[in-house]
Chain A
């Protein structure tokens, strides 16, 4: 790892100011992606601004159907929140299957969403729940947030402070993990929202990061059943193709996992 300077922020404002004062500073939350990346010298930020000690960014609050998850809330905290499970068990189950127990004790929802790894789980939930990404500057709709692999609408000095969404009428997340890395080769978050609209958000499979499948959404809006999407087409040209699975395999996987997600949310 190259040398870096560590700073611990105690407020969002302080974090942003610390970031701006570094040459090439980066925010670090749980660090479960950033620290390994720095160890491999694939990233070498001059400064690290630690977000884990900002109280305003922690915790889960539920007001009726409105859910707010602070960006520095760990996967373990999301997975084990009984209150959250009461309104949206799908996101708890998703968090419970990220990485392994030690990673879940450190990794945070804000870090995962900001990184937008094409095989990360949380981006599917954010898009699938039609969530809002609250930042130090503004609130961004999920539909406008993800800009392809590892790319988001976030500006350099902008930090995610919370993820908010309305509890869905029903939802489920099912993933097919790579047998070795356990990252999603395909993960589908299927939800019927309170306004009756349907979201099918897919991670791990697409060649440009998380995406929605509108044909499946329309089919499910008319008939929420696995059979309704059995004949939906998935464009192989939009799929990842690598040693773990070619694009034809992944296109089929999207349909299979989507059906399982619909079944799980029935």
Chain B
């Protein structure tokens, strides 16, 4: 067991957990932040993507103790008050989801992409390349790409 302390969506949290606990388990089971999903559990699907110290990572492929001391942002941390984050709003507007299971990871990946590359540099090819680690089994990706294009413009 180890004491794990981190900032999650702006709040400091501290728990005593098993060293083998994954970050995604910590978020979902200890903090009840169930917006972060477990899709494949084999590091491929990206449904569990969160931001750790400002960078998109797969929370199923990192131990909670590894993230101790870090700043974590999950899908629950994007909206301000009752207002959706521009990327969330863009997914809603552009029908960027069907079943919605992959959506939290898609949006966290998209926000990270815009932060890294800049809204002005996002062409369709760049967006598609950067969705390499996020799998959607419903949409065929077209509307996800459109959502990210729109979300990026709204974030600028």
Residue A182 at the B interface, CB < 8 A? yes
- Counted as pairs of residues, one from A and one from B, with CB atoms less than 8 Å apart, the total is 75
Interface membership of B133, Cβ < 8 A: yes
Contacts of A36 in B (CB 8 A): 42-43, 61
Binds A, one of B26-34, B49-57, B73-81, B137-145: B49-57
Q: State the Cβ distance, B20 to closest chain A Cβ, in Å.
A: 5
Q: Are B20 and A2 in contact (CB under 8 A)?
A: yes
Bitwise, A1-42 to B at CB < 8 A (1) or not (0) is: 111111010000000000000000000100110011011100
Residue numbers in B under 8 Å from A40 (CB-CB): 42
Q: Are A35 and B61 in contact (CB under 8 A)?
A: yes
Interface residue from A3, A6, A99, A182 paired with B66 (Cβ < 8 Å) = A6
Chain A residue total in the interface (Cβ 8 A): 27
Q: B19 CB to closest chain A CB, in angstroms? A: 4
* CB closest chain-B residue, reference A44: B20
A-side contacts of B112, CB under 8 Å:
101
Set of chain B residues within 8 Å of A76, measured between Cβ atoms: 55
Q: Mark B117-150, 1 if CB is under 8 A from A, else 0.
A: 0000000000000101110000000000000000
A100 interface residue per 8 A CB criterion: yes
Contact in complex: B43, A103 (CB < 8 Å): yes
Residues of A within 8 A of B (CB): 1-6, 8, 28, 31-32, 35-36, 38-40, 48, 50, 52, 76, 99-103, 105-106, 182
Interface residues, chain B, CB within 8 Å of chain A? Answer: 2, 18-20, 22, 41-43, 46, 49, 55-58, 60-63, 65-66, 109, 112-113, 116, 130, 132-134
